[in-house]
Amino acid sequence: MKTSIVKKKPEEVDAPLLVIGVAEDSVQLPPVIQRLVKDVMDLGDFKGKKCEHTLIYTQGRLPAKRLMLVGLGDAESHDAENLRKVLGDASRRIRDLGVEAIAVSLEHVAWGLDPGEAAEALVEAFILGSFKDPYHKTRELDEFKAVKELMIVSPEAGKEHERKAAEGTVIAEAVNMCRRLAWGPGNRVTPTVLAGEALKLRKLGVEVKVLDREDAKKAGLHSFLAVARGTEEPPKFIVMEYNGKEGAETVAVIGKGITFDTGGISLKSREGMPLMKTDMTGAAITISAMKAVAQLKPPLNVLGIVAATDNMPSGRAYHPGDVVDTYSGLTVEVISTDAEGRMVLNDALSYAAKNYKPAAMFDFATLTGAMQVALGEHAIGYFSNDDCVAERIEKASRTSGERVWRMPLWDVYDEQLKSDVADWKHTGGRPGGAITAARFLSKFVGDTPWAHFDIAGLMEQKSDKGYNPKGSKGPGVRLILDVLRNW
Ligand code: BES
Ligand code: MN
Ligand code: ZN
């Protein structure tokens, strides 16, 4: 989507469709527009309620051919997230009309918001909300319409608006990239394909190194390779480095990249197994965020690591009861081969901590059904060993609108991880399953400030809503980018 800033009043702009936001009970419109919408408002067909929209044909009374009124809801509680939701919703209606170029009156959607912030949020709303990918369809492709051009109209338009709109574009495109990868099927989004996506970042100046099975063995990534034993699909351990400023701190982003999770020998039941194509959502977040970072160019260094492999049952697969070495040197007793995420992540965490000494590490993983049960699909549960890191996350949550909830990381839960035959068991049974998983990971971060995001509840958006169309939610990308932008 191409965006531009137009220094005009909304009633002067010539476009196939003009969007005007209207808050409930406080209609403030330019007189020409006021006259146009009088009937629809007086008759009570549009009240400005949240996500309400109505389409008016201007019949030459405005340069714009169509006018779409979008309800913002209660003016008092309007914020950037509300803006993204209501315009995200409207964006699909506009897309499906087949309108390719639209204008949005910034003042009428911003209300009390900072105009730059509103410009960024509205661009995100359209790019995120109207996202629809044909994926692997070869027929009915004419259903896949797209809004191609977005004009942000404001009499006060300036450089700052332009800069924020450009940032919004980069961020939203990264979320869509994450969605595309995460929703891609296991046979088409393989570890090799993920590595290919990472390698493309070289042309943006990112250094990329891909370790194959042999390289990983030489490096000592035994725990990662234990999971990869069962698959013939070549595993890839992907390391990406963005160098934004010499001598600056390094922040690491790490993603679970299980390109398909059958459960391995501890085979999953058939229900819900197709969704396990999204078990590399953490990897998709990491690669997409690295791309956005390379475009936004914040003055710090960012390390991205993805541990990518299928988790399959086979004659070579690892077994329950196995004792596995790890990169850290600790030994681990395997209880369920379906708890494979923590097996690939522990190596990634200690690899990052040891070789890069980052100021902080963040990992994203579709790790436990327990977290999905705990928080459902509306919030990301996270764990952290550092209150300053947690504060950065809370702040990014407020600006990005991505809900997070801090979970406890108390050491008493370690009791469930005691093993008779190895340093640790990798699971602690059903009670507190998301917490014991996080406690297990904590053994591999040393004293590095760290946060673990369990995104298992956010793999799927079941139906179109706000700025999330059906498919992958593309969770965490905006959140981590706000952490990194404000570092
Ligand atoms: N990828 C799954 C987690 C998952 C399950 C995400 C359901 C979304 C929906 C993970 O690899 C897994 O299988 N976890 C097990 C761990 C258990 C064996 C300790 C789980 O949560 O059941
Ligand atoms: Mn699993
Ligand atoms: Zn998994």
Of 268, 398, 406, 485, which residue is the catalytic one? Answer: 268
143 pLDDT higher than 90: no
Active site residue 268: yes
pLDDT of residue 432: 98
pLDDT of residue 106: 97
Whole-model pTM above 0.95?
A: yes
Exposure string for 202-226, b = 16+ CB within 10 A, e = fewer = eeeebebebbebeebeebbbbbbbb
Active site residue 66: no
Q: How confident is the model at residue 25 (pLDDT cuts 50, 70, 90)?
A: confident
pLDDT of residue 197: 98
Q: How confident is the model at residue 118 (pLDDT cuts 50, 70, 90)?
A: very high
**In contact, 418 and 428? CB cutoff 8 Å:** no
**Which residues, 6 or more positions from 412, have their beta carbon under 8 angstroms from its beta carbon?**
none
Cα(338) to centroid(ligand 1), Å: 7
Cα(338) to centroid(ligand 2), Å: 4
Q: Choose among 342, 334, 332: nearest CA to 367.
A: 342
Q: What is the mean pLDDT of residues 100-115?
A: 94
- Read off the tokens for 326: 């790890």
Q: Is 435 in the pocket of ligand 1 (CB under 6 A)?
A: no
* Ligand 3 ion local residues (Cβ < 5 A): 258, 261, 279, 341
Q: What is the mean pLDDT of residues 459-477?
A: 98
- Sorted by where each starts, the structural domains of the chain and their CATH numbers stand as 2-154 (3.40.220.10), 180-485 (3.40.630.10)
pLDDT of residue 373: 98
322 pLDDT higher than 90: yes
Q: Which ligand is nearest to the Cα of residue 264, counting in written order?
A: 2
- Read off the tokens for 75: 């003016």
Q: What is the pLDDT of residues 199-251, one digit of tens each?
A: 999 999 999 999 999 999 999 999 999 999 999 999 999 999 999 999 999 99
Q: Is 261 in the pocket of ligand 1 (CB under 6 A)?
A: yes
262 pLDDT higher than 90: yes
| Ligand 1 atom closest to residue 279's alpha carbon, by position in its atom list | 1
The sign of the CA dihedral 163, 104, 94, 400 is positive
Task: Provide the residue type at 273 as one letter.
Answer: M
Q: How confident is the model at residue 26 (pLDDT cuts 50, 70, 90)?
A: confident
Q: What is the mean pLDDT of residues 325-331?
A: 98
Cα(369) to centroid(ligand 3), Å: 9
27 pLDDT higher than 90: no
Q: Is 262 in the pocket of ligand 1 (CB under 6 A)?
A: no
Q: What is the mean pLDDT of residues 290-316?
A: 98
pLDDT of residue 112: 86
Q: What is the pLDDT of residues 168-183, one digit of tens each?
A: 999 999 999 999 999 9
Q: What is the mean pLDDT of residues 44-58?
A: 94
Q: Is 3 in the pocket of ligand 1 (CB under 6 A)?
A: no
Q: Is 335 in the pocket of ligand 1 (CB under 6 A)?
A: no
pLDDT of residue 263: 98
Contacts for 155-161: CB closer than 8 Å, 24+ residues apart: 155/7, 155/8, 155/9, 155/107, 156/7, 156/107, 156/115, 157/5, 157/6, 157/7, 157/106, 158/5, 158/7, 160/115, 160/116, 161/5, 161/106, 161/115, 161/116, 161/119
